[in-house]
Amino acid sequence: MLADQTTTHVITLTPAAAQAVRDLLEKRNLQGYALRVFVSGGGCSGLQYGMALENNIRDLDLSEEFDGVKVVVDEISIDYLRGATVDYIEDETGSGFKIENPNAVSSCGCGSSYKSTDDASGDSACGCSCCG
């Protein structure tokens, strides 16, 4: 599958994810928008992933293009997402974006939150309602 991916030194967006974003942008008639990928505090494991379609690219954002889709990452999230891969999965249970992150030392059962190497201490029990 690595041959099917476009890679940069910070983040990777698979062709399947790029197609899903293009479909969303077309469906919502959003021209000039990018996929913002970010990390914020919260979630049952300490940090949580977020994604949004937006057209507000800041000067300090990292901006890359994958298969015609612009991806932006803010200056704080870059360190937490370095080496991560954003994919789009479709299977019998549903579909959605999935982030594989080499910086995660433990993650929530639902995959939406994680602990990084910077915060590997503490309770690893998941308390969110989405994977319980």
For residue 81, what pLDDT is reported? Answer: 93
Residue 23: enclosing H or E segment and its boundaries? helix 15-27
Per DSSP (E only), the strands in the chain are 6-7, 11-13, 34-41, 47-54, 62-66, 69-73, 84-91, 94-100, 104-107, 113-116
Q: How confident is the model at residue 129 (pLDDT cuts 50, 70, 90)?
A: very low
Q: What is the mean pLDDT of residues 53-61?
A: 94
Give dist(CA 23, CA 107) in Å, integer: 29
Position with higher pLDDT, 57 vs 47: 57
- Tell me the pTM: 0.72
pLDDT in tens, 66-93: 999 999 999 999 999 999 999 999 988 8
- Residue boundaries of the structural domains of the chain: 2-118
Q: What is the mean pLDDT of residues 113-129?
A: 46
Strand 104-107 versus strand 113-116 pairing type? antiparallel
- CA 49 to chain centroid, in Å, comes to 6
pLDDT at residue 123 greater than cutoff 50 = no
For residue 55, what pLDDT is reported? Answer: 95
Helix/strand/coil for 39 = strand
Give dist(CA 5, CA 15) in Å, integer: 6
The reply to whether CATH 2.60.300.12 applies to domain 2-118 is yes
